[in-house]
Structure 1
Amino acid sequence: MAIQIPVVKGKTLSTEYWLGSLSFSAIAKYVKLPENSDWDDVFGGKGEQEAQRKLNKTRVTNEIVPYLLKSDDAFFSSLALILVPASGKPLQEGSDYKFLPTAAEGKVGMLEIDESVDMFPADGQHRTAAIIDALKQDRSRMTPQEVPVVLLPYFDKDKLRQHFSDLNLNAKPVSQSIGYAFESRDPIVIVTKRIMKDVPLFNKRVNELSNSLAKKSPDVITMGTLVQAHHILLEAFYGPKYKDNAEITALRQLDPSDEKVETVAQKLQDVWEVVIENIVEWDLILNGKAQARELREGDESTGTPGYVFAFGIGWQAIAMAAAALIKDERDDWSEDLAHCLRAVNWRKGDHWHGIAMVGDRVNNTGPGIKATAGYILREGSISGPGPAVNSLMAAAPEAA
């Protein structure tokens, strides 16, 4: 039995395609993920060229599936599906498919695809996997949902691989910070937008366009870094399942100015107030006596180096150190954090080598962030450290 899809026929240069939509149930039935062994021969055989990059199952399970299940206005961009006959031969009109225009020589019509034809997701394997998983979790709600599709005919292995290359190499995702700037559902992003206005240092000094700060940027932090720091801190305040906490989930799609947002934001604001008050150089920014770039890069004319705290690794490491103190339920985590921040020599130099720096370059990596957080706590000589603090301090190598 053939599957029938209302489509619009199109052509870009020599590539013909059909535009339509498929229900989630049809996606689950007819689309085979690239990891399926049926595609081995199409891509040169087992052990030869891989069909696609490996599926990031954690991203599918923790990010994309919840987005579908929890968002009433969720939307996916179109999947690019290549129609591959079971024979492995080029797609043939008449046997593998039929296009039935609604008018003579029209572009709008019905595409009938034989059930023996498989659909390969040349672009959209993670969205496809999420649709399949969401369907399993909530079949009654997900079954009738539809996703836009671009259907392309299979000609041969080389052409299929070229389509995949074209679709993935030429795709340029927006920066994480831009994505967050336009986000209106995610509670953590909503709280972050509130913090960006309520904390004076962040007000109009958060870069919402890129994932890193340019050398001469007047901003003190990127939105992406601030959001990641808030994930770290909120996990400390609410526990590992903080995203499912009722106080957090209640913030979905609220305006950042809503009083419910303030309740959560205040916890984060308390942390940033301790940080900013105990790194005195931030006062120079607030009082207009220095530029953020000067704190990062230093003064070339005098050879004075900048400060590690002014980089993304500094912000995230400080958040991680604060989170460890909060997790250990210390009598006054804010006082301990203040002591640690004051004890650190934040100037870039040899003492940061192998921790936050490699040579004369600040090294913003996951291990570097963890090592820097441990170094901050170790420099503060925290008395009676708990398991979270001990774990971080153990990750910090001895300074040079």
Structure 2
Amino acid sequence: MQNFYSFSALAGLQARQATFAVNLPLSLVGKLFSKEDISLPAHERSQRIINQGRVNQIAKYILDNPNSYVLPPLVAYVRTGEIKFEANKDYPQLGELKISLSADLALFDGQHRCAAIQLAVAKKPFLADETITVYLLANQGLSAAQQIFADINMNAVKPAQSIKLLYNQRDQVTAFTKSMIKEIPLFEKYTDLERTNLPTTSDKLFTFSGLYQANQILWKGLGDDPSKPITISKFWEILVPCIDEWEQLMDFAVHSELLRNQSLTAHSVTWMALAEVGLHLIKRRPNHNEWTFALERLDMNWSRQNPVWQGRVILGGKICKTRKNILLMTNAILQHNRIELNKTQQALEDEFLKTMQPDSNAA
């Protein structure tokens, strides 16, 4: 049996086909699975072209978390070669799976994980002896392989960004955002911790992912300042009472659904723009009393009908929240409150104003 790899395996049956689950050493991942020939046209392949950025991201995750990483199983099939399953006499579903050294195994699902594992093992050789579960199916031809790839990916439902961020225990901004929501009554009552897109009839106004993104702007912008958690908490404590719509919501004078339809204060682009405003004030006026004084007097017409938002945040009647939209909204808030723009902000503003000017050459 020297011409075979041998693994303990669990045999099963799915769609009337034999299946096997094995724990494969990471050192064999690169040796056992053949790479997809990307020179072939898409209809002759069973896999998409590898995204190297995604590979690097997974490899970094493994390397950064060697004591706590988790990788989902790979799903593979035997394209060519021999496999044998020798069942245990007492437990027929358990046994030894033998795969010939010349066998050609290909992946239905997990090619990015496979490539990332090889990168990680090359950088941290001790990972070679760790394992990943492989779910192995018999070969049913190219069309079946393509269909299985489609089934796996079409039926997969990605979790909402909010709940992915909420459950990330490694992220300092996540931990801070959780504590901030608990500390501020408005956020505690009106933040949906799980969904990123709120249903029309939801009584919530904020999403965890939106507040997280706003906090991330402040967190990164304040750099290595050890007091930044206190500063950011103070920012929100001062800001919340300055937004009339938020105060009305707390006083039951308006419903969340109405605010979502009529006011930009119900949308994450505004929370992120306000975070940019706060960062601008804190950097320009490091003295605590100065930036808090400016923030307490913040004033703005947040109605979606306010002409100042057209072209900045609202395009074609829809709210847009690209990085550029966020910064253009920041500029509008600063200028309305007579706060001087910095050079970068002014350059963006000048560019925006040029695009908004009517074409002098138009007939």
Look up the match of 2:120.
134
**In the alignment, residue 13 of structure 1 is paired with which amino acid?**
A
Using the alignment, how far apart are the partners of 1:291 and 1:366 within structure 2?
29
* Cα contact 1:5–1:111 (8 A) shared by 2: yes
3-state SS of 2:236 partner: helix
Report the counterpart of residue 353 of structure 1 in structure 2.
Answer: 310
Match of 2:174 among 166, 176, 189: 189
Aligned residues: 351
Match of 2:361 in 1: none
Deviation of 1:321 (Å): 3.8
Pick from 270, 278, 297 the counterpart of residue 314 of structure 1: 270
Which has the larger displacement, 378-387 or 349-358?
378-387
Alpha-carbon spacing, 1:329–1:120, altered in 2? closer, same or farther (3 Å): farther
Aligned with residue 123 of structure 1, among 89, 102, 109: 109
- Judging changes above 3 Å, is the alpha-carbon distance between structure 1 residues 126 and 392 closer, same or farther for their aligned structure 2 residues? farther
Distance 1:147 1:372 in 2: 47
Q: How far apart, CA to CA, are the structure 1 residues paired with 2:279 and 2:165?
A: 22
Distance in 1 (CA, whole Å) between partners of 2:49 and 2:291 is 42
Report the Cα offset of residue 312 of structure 1. 1.8
1:232-252 deviations in whole A, cap 9, x for unaligned?
Answer: 22110116xxxxx9x7xxxxx
Question: Which residue, out of 61, 79, 99, partners 2:85?
Answer: 99
Q: 1:152 to 1:264 in 2, by over 3 A?
A: farther
Distance 1:135 1:338, change over 3 A: farther
- Answer yes or no: is 1:150 the counterpart of 2:106: no
SS of the residue 2:135 aligns to: strand
Instruction: Give, in whole Å, the separation in 2 of the partners of 1:177 and 1:313.
Output: 15
Once the two structures are TM-superposed, the CA of residue 203 in structure 1 deviates from its matched residue by 1.2
**In structure 2, how many angstroms separate the alpha carbons of the residues matched to 1:337 and 1:399?**
29
Equivalent in the alignment of 1:285: 249
Work out whether 1:172 is the aligned partner of 2:172.
Answer: no
Does structure 1 residue 201 correspond to structure 2 residue 189?
no
Write the distance in 2 (CA, Å) between the matches of 1:50 and 1:274.
Answer: 57
Aligned residues: CA RMSD = 3.1
| Cα displacement (A) at 1:336 | 5.1
User: How far 1:311 moved relative to its partner?
Assistant: 0.9
**Which amino acid in structure 2 is aligned with residue 121 of structure 1?**
L
Return the letter of the residue paired with 2:148: H
1:255 is aligned to: none
TM-score computed with the length of structure 2 as normaliser: 0.83
Q: Percent same amino acid at aligned positions? A: 24
Q: Which residue does the alignment assign to 2:340?
A: 383
* Shift of residue 50, structure 1, vs aligned partner: 6.0
- Confirm whether residue 77 of structure 1 aligns to residue 72 of structure 2: yes
User: What secondary structure is seen at the aligned counterpart in 1 of 2:23?
Assistant: strand
Q: How far apart are residue 294 of structure 1 and its match? A: 2.5
Deviations 1:203-261 (A, max 9, x none): 1321122111222222221111122222222110116xxxxx9x7xxxxxxxxxxxxxx
Counting only pairs closer than 5 Å after superposition, residues 1-400 of structure 1 correspond to structure 2 as 1-32=3-34, 36=35, 38-40=36-38, 45-46=40-41, 51-62=46-57, 65-66=60-61, 69-70=64-65, 72-85=67-80, 95-103=81-89, 106-140=92-126, 142-238=127-223, 265-297=229-261, 306-326=262-282, 332-335=290-293, 341-342=298-299, 344-349=300-305, 350-383=307-340, 385-387=342-344, 389-390=345-346, 393=349, 396=352
**Further displaced range: 148-157 or 265-274:** 265-274
1:120, CA displacement in angstroms? 3.0
Q: Which amino acid aligns with 2:8?
A: P
Of 184-193 and 96-105, deviating more is 96-105
The Cα of 1:173 is off from its aligned counterpart by 1.9
Shift of 1:51: 4.9
Q: Is contact 2:331-2:341 (8 Å) kept? A: no
Deviations 1:345-388 (A, max 9, x none): 2111243222222333323445433433343334444326254x
Provide the rounded CA distance (Å) in 1 between the counterparts of 2:236 and 2:350: 25
Q: TM-score normalized by structure 1?
A: 0.76
Deviation at 1:289, TM superposition (A): 2.7
Mapped to 2, the partners of 1:50 and 1:324 lie a distance apart of 51
What residue ranges of structure 2 are gaps of 5+ in the alignment? Answer: 358-363
User: Unaligned 5+ residue runs, structure 1?
Assistant: 86-94, 240-244, 248-262, 298-305
1:105, distance to aligned residue in structure 2 (A)? 8.9
Cα deviation digits, residues 32-87 of structure 1 (max 9, x gap)? 5xxx5x4347xxx24656654454444443466235532623222212123323xx
Structure number, greater radius of gyration: 2
* Partner-residue secondary structure (3-state), 1:201: helix
Using a 3 Å threshold, how does the CA distance of structure 1 residues 351 and 272 change in structure 2: closer, same or farther? same
In structure 1, the residue matched to 2:360 is: none
Aligned to 1:210, what secondary structure does the other structure show?
Answer: coil
- Matches of 2:351 and 2:99 in 1, distance apart? 57
